Amino acid sequence: MKEENQVTEVKNEEVAKVETQTTQKDEGKAEVDMISKDEAQRMVDKALAKNLPPKEEMKEFKDWKESKKTDAEKQTERERELETTRNELSSVKQENLALKKGVNSDDLDYVVFKVSKLDGEFEDNLEEFLKENPKFTSVSEATTKNDGTATQKIANNKEDGVMAILKSKHPNLYE
């Protein structure tokens, strides 16, 4: 039993020596040379400058490449641009219509997205959606004038910071 304790003690001493040695080795490796961002950028710019042709040659190459396109490729490109423009126009019209219907500007993107995914006409779907979800509009209630036309009262009649300051400094202007 005594021999086992002696063997265990010897092994523990050896492990302690090994741990000390590895720690010392790791500490020596901890020093790393760092370069600045400017120096790194200069190195990258220098490497890129070696591989790129001058601007004139790049322009000539792009012109040559454009001239080699077939009429079908040019037509396809024009159709793609036209489709993109139509989509943007449609999106702007939908947003404009939603704003006219009283949708809060904070909720505009969400409402337009949800309504555009519905089947049918956008305007009809928008009216139905806003009836079911009045929380997205700034119109709280509609009142009628004597002639029977409807006017709308704005629920979110919050004053922004600038107006509040102006009213507090010049109350006579805002009576």
Here the tokens at position 152 are 């709308």
Given a cut of 60, is residue 20 above it in pLDDT? no
H/E element holding 22? helix 2-29
Which is more confident, 48 or 106? 106
Given a cut of 80, is residue 174 above it in pLDDT? no
Return d(Cα 93, Cα 105) in angstroms, integer.
15
Tally of CB atoms within 10 A around 155: 14
Return d(Cα 66, Cα 92) in angstroms, integer.
32
- Decide: helix, strand or coil at residue 43: helix
Residue-wise pLDDT tens digits, 95-104: 999 999 999 9
Q: How confident is the model at residue 175 (pLDDT cuts 50, 70, 90)?
A: low
What contacts 142, CB < 8 A, 6 or more positions away? 150, 151, 152, 153
Residue-wise pLDDT tens digits, 116-162: 999 999 999 999 999 999 999 875 444 434 454 444 444 444 567 77
Contact 97, 121 (CB under 8 A): no
Mean pLDDT of the chain: 76
Domain ranges of the chain: 56-139
DSSP letter at 134? Answer: G
Given a cut of 90, is residue 93 above it in pLDDT? yes
Q: What integer is the mean pLDDT of 73-81?
A: 91
Contact 156, 102 (CB under 8 A): no
**Among 3-12, 41-50, 86-95, 155-164, which stretch is predicted with the lowest mean pLDDT?**
3-12
